[in-house]
Amino acid sequence: MQEALRLSRQQYVYANILWQDMLAAYGDTESSDYWRQRAQRRAYQGAIVSHLLQAGHCLAVAVLKQLADTRMLTTANLTLAEILTLLKEQSFLSASAQTLKQALEDGHLAALQQAQFIFTEGATVVPAQASVNAQIMTIDIVKSDNLDDPDLWPVGEWIRAQQSILDTVQAELEEC
């Protein structure tokens, strides 16, 4: 469990470093090159989302190792969707497991999964499909953000939310 918590913290730190680096290199909206740097910002944001999802997965593994019914299961290869299903099947959830379940159902991690899907599918979706799917891409964290424009992705908010979840769950797991 401690190893999973350490990996989760490490992935979060990587995401935060990428965010700070992106802001320093490509975050000046007054720059004449700002709009030409969209590909660089998109690449950074995609990498940040990937690190945050890995951090969420490691945190989920740590939470499952704490629950009696899932302690002996091999959970490292489960997807976040499978982990959510496993959490829903439990008769008792600790406070950290409830926090994780909420984040997976309709919270921060669900938003990250949606962003990851859009990021990976963006290169393969044809423009006609992209316009049809545009209505589905709205994120709840920041109502005006639409994930088909990576310049509007609420990456900074996601990093802060991940920090909050990580700190909360880690504190609850260390109390046990």
Model confidence pLDDT, tens digit, residues 114-124: 888 877 776 44
Q: What residues contact residue 163 under an 8 Å CB cut-off, 6+ apart?
A: 12, 16
Distance CA 100, CA 107 (A): 9
CA distances from 78 to 28, 122, 126, 141 (A): 39, 24, 30, 26
Mean of the per-residue pLDDT values for the chain? 81
Place of tokens 């802060």: 160
* pLDDT (tens digit per residue) in 137-166: 332 223 334 666 777 788 888 999 999 999
Average pLDDT over residues 73-91: 87
Q: Are 48 and 19 in contact (CB under 8 A)?
A: yes
The model's pTM: 0.81
Which of 90, 88, 112 lies closest to 101, judged by CA?
Answer: 88
Q: What is the DSSP letter of 106?
A: T
Q: State the amino acid at position 46 in one-letter form.
A: G
